[in-house]
Chain A
Amino acid sequence: MLYTIWLLPLLGAVVLWVLGPQLRERGGILGSAAVGLSFFATLTLYRAAGTTPGVHVPLGSWIGGFTFGLMMDPLSLIWVLVITGVGGLIHVYSIGYMAGDRAVARFFAYMNFFVFAMLTLVLSDNFVGLLVGWGLVGLASYFLIGFWFERPSAVAAARKAFVINVVGDVGLMFAVFVLFSHTGSIAYTDVFARVRDLAPPVLLTACIAIFIGCAAKSAQVPLHTWLPDALEGPTPVSALIHAATMVTAGVYLVARCAPLWDSSSAARELVGTIGAVTALAGAILGIAQWDIKRVLAYSTMSQIGYMIMGVGVGAYEAGVLHFFTHAFFKAQLFLAAGLAIHALAGEQDIRNMGGLARRMPFAFWGMLIGTLSICGVPFFAGFYSKDAVIYGELLDGHPWLYVLGVATAGITAYYMFRMLFIAFFGRDRTQTEHHGEPAHASNVPDWVMQVPVAILMVGTIAAGYLDIGGDNSIWSRFLAPDFAGENLLRTGAPQISDMVSSAVVLVAVVLGFGLAYLRYGAPAALTNAPERLDREARTMPPVLTHGYFVDDLIWALFVRPAQALGMAFGRFLDPVLIDGAVRDTSFLAGVLGWITRRLENGLVRAYAVTIVLGVACFVAYYAFAGIPR
């Protein structure tokens, strides 16, 4: 059954790739079916995966002690459910969204391939399998970001995403070498069993290397710059890869390697801090965006920061829960935004929207519910998970991280509602001309795109209810085999209780909402919206519009020097110095040849002189050295 789950999407991808030209529009149905079947197959394993060892299928082994296998335990199961479930919904949505595109079969082939790669990542029972999945996911992401490969911006974004992801791959690879060399195995169970034997420096090296992988894949500071650009791909891709699944692979990895973090407090500090910083940095950047998808992208970055922060400090269940709820509400936000973009024929700039609440109420409700959930309004899913994460900081004894988390929550509310007010309230500012994603004449009924969003709404509201009940909740009990309860350090009793913490967060959220309302949502603000927004766009500090200049920094520190070196080597060192040395040698040979050719003057007597000179040398040698007896 595990095989079925794992290989169905691959089969779908291969069939779609090979038969693409014949299938055309029907490719979407096939691709969705493959993922859907995979999802239902996963459901049958629900009970088996929940038992202690989980489901395990050995696959074979390589030389050198690499053994491979598939494994499904509760942690994997949650990811597989999200990948195939939410992924399946996004597939269905894509049937509508991508209708009319020239290469729709290719699109679904990539999507299925992505699902396969993601399943490889989470189902693998060892680090190398994980690494394979890790790389393939990056590849799928590359394909999908660069799906419209005739657009130079998409091509550049795809390249950037892939290269940064390879940085992560390489970090992870190094971690694999470290762990393999010191434990002699790549299987999770073996490695974790021997964690205690590892010397602290080795452990820390491995943790940092793993986290480099996580940071690249999950867009953590400072490897986050690819994520906003990655939105050059079609919107369903953004929803599937850059919101729901792939970018959370880092969270999965940290959670999966819980035993490693538990043994290295320094690594936990690092991960927790970077998560918190990312959460805050992403949220602040979210304030300054005008592209609806970029707002969502930075919010994704920020939310993943939360997750990483949670798993980093040991609040694994909370972090994973936040992944789970985030998958629903972020997918929903993207798909709802996609509805708007689709209807506006590719318009993504919120300054050119306005008043969409009346024009497309369904998209509005989708956005609203998603926004409420992401802001952590009580009774929506995000509330439960986010509060758990933020409170986890306090439990683990990181008051500063707690403060950062609360601040981020407030800012999140501010930029999400800012986006909502500008795009969906006020006057209609849509223009006729447009650029961006190509528009398609669709012959697919609207419900194809609406039903997935509707289903996601349920999850967006209800996914958090799983965690009601503290340590006895369904969620905690389900994940117990993996984490054996929360591994928080619990240094001293927290100063405030759970309820008080929630209240604090709520206050921050309300403040954020209030500020957004005053600036963008109040009737006075809505009336002169266009001028105000233009003024705001002009006065926005460059440090925010340029993403803290991280891109320029990377460019100046790594890309430029590498190119300059390459130029110096290729244009100068190779042809001039090395080849020059070789040419000098040959020139020397030429000079010698010229000299000897002078000797070859055709004059017989001159030859004779040379011969006699040679004879003289021989004679001299034997005369002075004597004849060997």
Chain B
Amino acid sequence: MTLFWLLAVGLVITSLLTVTARRPVYSVVYLIANFVLLAITYVTLSAEFLGVIQVIVYASAILMLFLFVMALLSTSTAPFSVGPDRLPGIVGPAVALVAVIFGLLVYGVTRTPLLIVPRAQPVSAAPGTANAFGSTSDFGAALMTTHLLPFEVTAFVLMVAVIGVVMLASDAAPQATRHHARRRGPRTREPITRERPALEKGSVR
């Protein structure tokens, strides 16, 4: 009980920090913390394997990727906020919207109590043992038998992702001029890389 509330508070705080951090690097750090807390929560929900995966894959591998990208991007001058904010004042409405949705969810969930009917046959082994619900072996058996097809699909998705990334990354030549920056709306500033066209001789400014 206490554990849950501690975890909950930690999760909410780290989440908030993640989306509000000024610099992306801080965000990553908060996100790592968030994911670790989440992994603990998973374990409290009898999902050992996923808890482990959460730490290994998410907290380390994926977020490392973020850090790498950040490192790559930071080589040049501040690339993240070059133009004006085209949705100024979104924060208030966004928070309000989110709050409304949350209110609606809470209202809906409390209005109609969740109807949960646990699986009819009891779990074969006692909690904590190797074959208990959510244990790695239980999960693995489910993954390899009942849910084999989704598992295979997972592999396929990953492969497609790999191919996609390779394709994208092989788009080697930086063709700055091909980019169409936004075509409508007031343009207050030229894109950084685009040089100002030299003034025609004798042209009146």
Task: Tell me, yes or no, whether A and B come into direct contact in the complex with CB atoms closer than 8 A.
Answer: yes
Footprint of B on A, CB under 8 Å?
601-603, 605-606, 609, 612-613, 615-616, 619-620, 622-624, 626-627, 629
Instruction: Please determine whether B104 and A601 come into contact, CB atoms closer than 8 angstroms.
Output: no
B142 within 8 A of A: no
**Interface size bucket, B side?**
10 to 19
B105 within 8 A of A: yes
Complex Cα–Cα for A615 and B115 (A):
23
**Given known contacts A605-B87, A605-B90, A629-B115, A623 and B97 CB-to-CB distance under 8 angstroms:** no
Instruction: Please determine whether A603 and B97 come into contact, CB atoms closer than 8 angstroms.
Output: no
Nearest A residue to B181 via CB reads: A602
| B107 CB, nearest partner CB in chain A, Å | 5
B129 within 8 A of A: no
Nearest B residue to A626 via CB reads: B112
Complex Cα–Cα for A606 and B182 (A):
14
**Which of A601, A615, A616, A622 is close to B108, meaning CB atoms less than 8 Å apart?**
A622
Residues of A within 8 A of B97 (CB): 609, 612-613, 616
**Which of A602, A612, A613, A616 is close to B104, meaning CB atoms less than 8 Å apart?**
A616
**B63-110 at interface with A (beta carbon < 8 Å):** 86-87, 90, 94, 97-98, 100-101, 104-105, 107-108
Instruction: Please determine whether B100 and A616 come into contact, CB atoms closer than 8 angstroms.
Output: yes
**Given known contacts A603-B86, A612-B97, A626 and B111 CB-to-CB distance under 8 angstroms:** yes
**Given known contacts A613-B97, A619-B101, A619-B104, A602 and B182 CB-to-CB distance under 8 angstroms:** yes
Residues of A within 8 A of B98 (CB): 612
| A600 CB, nearest partner CB in chain B, Å | 10
Complex Cα–Cα for A606 and B107 (A):
27
**B160-205 at interface with A (beta carbon < 8 Å):** 182-185
Complex Cα–Cα for A605 and B104 (A):
23
| A110 CB, nearest partner CB in chain B, Å | 73
**B111-163 at interface with A (beta carbon < 8 Å):** 111-112, 115
**Given known contacts A603-B86, A606-B87, A615-B101, A623 and B107 CB-to-CB distance under 8 angstroms:** yes
Instruction: Please determine whether B90 and A623 come into contact, CB atoms closer than 8 angstroms.
Output: no
Complex Cα–Cα for A606 and B88 (A):
11
| A595 CB, nearest partner CB in chain B, Å | 15
| B101 CB, nearest partner CB in chain A, Å | 5
Residues of B within 8 A of A629 (CB): 115
Residues of B within 8 A of A626 (CB): 108, 111-112
**Given known contacts A612-B101, A616-B100, A601 and B185 CB-to-CB distance under 8 angstroms:** yes
Complex Cα–Cα for A627 and B104 (A):
13
**Given known contacts A601-B184, A602-B182, A629-B115, A623 and B105 CB-to-CB distance under 8 angstroms:** yes
Task: Given A620-B104, A622-B108, A623-B111, output 8 extra A-B contacts at Cβ < 8 Å.
Answer: A601-B185, A602-B182, A603-B87, A612-B97, A612-B101, A616-B104, A619-B104, A619-B105
Instruction: Please determine whether B101 and A627 come into contact, CB atoms closer than 8 angstroms.
Output: no
Complex Cα–Cα for A615 and B97 (A):
10
Complex Cα–Cα for A609 and B112 (A):
28
Nearest A residue to B109 via CB reads: A623
Residues of B within 8 A of A606 (CB): 87
Residues of B within 8 A of A603 (CB): 86-87
| B178 CB, nearest partner CB in chain A, Å | 16
**Which of B94, B108, B182 is close to A619, meaning CB atoms less than 8 Å apart?**
B108
What would be 24 A-B contacts, judged by CB atoms less than 8 Å apart?
Answer: A601-B184, A601-B185, A603-B87, A605-B87, A605-B90, A606-B87, A609-B90, A609-B94, A609-B97, A612-B97, A612-B98, A612-B101, A613-B97, A615-B101, A616-B101, A619-B101, A619-B108, A620-B104, A623-B105, A623-B107, A623-B108, A623-B111, A626-B108, A627-B112
Complex Cα–Cα for A613 and B104 (A):
13
Complex Cα–Cα for A624 and B108 (A):
7
| A184 CB, nearest partner CB in chain B, Å | 73
Residues of A within 8 A of B182 (CB): 602
Complex Cα–Cα for A613 and B90 (A):
14
Nearest B residue to A627 via CB reads: B112
Complex Cα–Cα for A623 and B100 (A):
12
Residues of B within 8 A of A605 (CB): 87, 90
Nearest B residue to A597 via CB reads: B184
Residues of B within 8 A of A624 (CB): 108
Residues of A within 8 A of B105 (CB): 619, 623
Complex Cα–Cα for A601 and B184 (A):
8
Residues of B within 8 A of A622 (CB): 108
Complex Cα–Cα for A473 and B90 (A):
115
Complex Cα–Cα for A626 and B108 (A):
7
Nearest A residue to B98 via CB reads: A612
Complex Cα–Cα for A606 and B85 (A):
12
Nearest B residue to A603 via CB reads: B86
Residues of B within 8 A of A623 (CB): 104-105, 107-108, 111
Complex Cα–Cα for A623 and B111 (A):
8
Nearest A residue to B85 via CB reads: A605
Complex Cα–Cα for A207 and B160 (A):
87
| A412 CB, nearest partner CB in chain B, Å | 91
Nearest A residue to B110 via CB reads: A623
Nearest B residue to A605 via CB reads: B87
Complex Cα–Cα for A509 and B144 (A):
124
Residues of A within 8 A of B111 (CB): 623, 626
Residues of A within 8 A of B101 (CB): 612, 615-616, 619
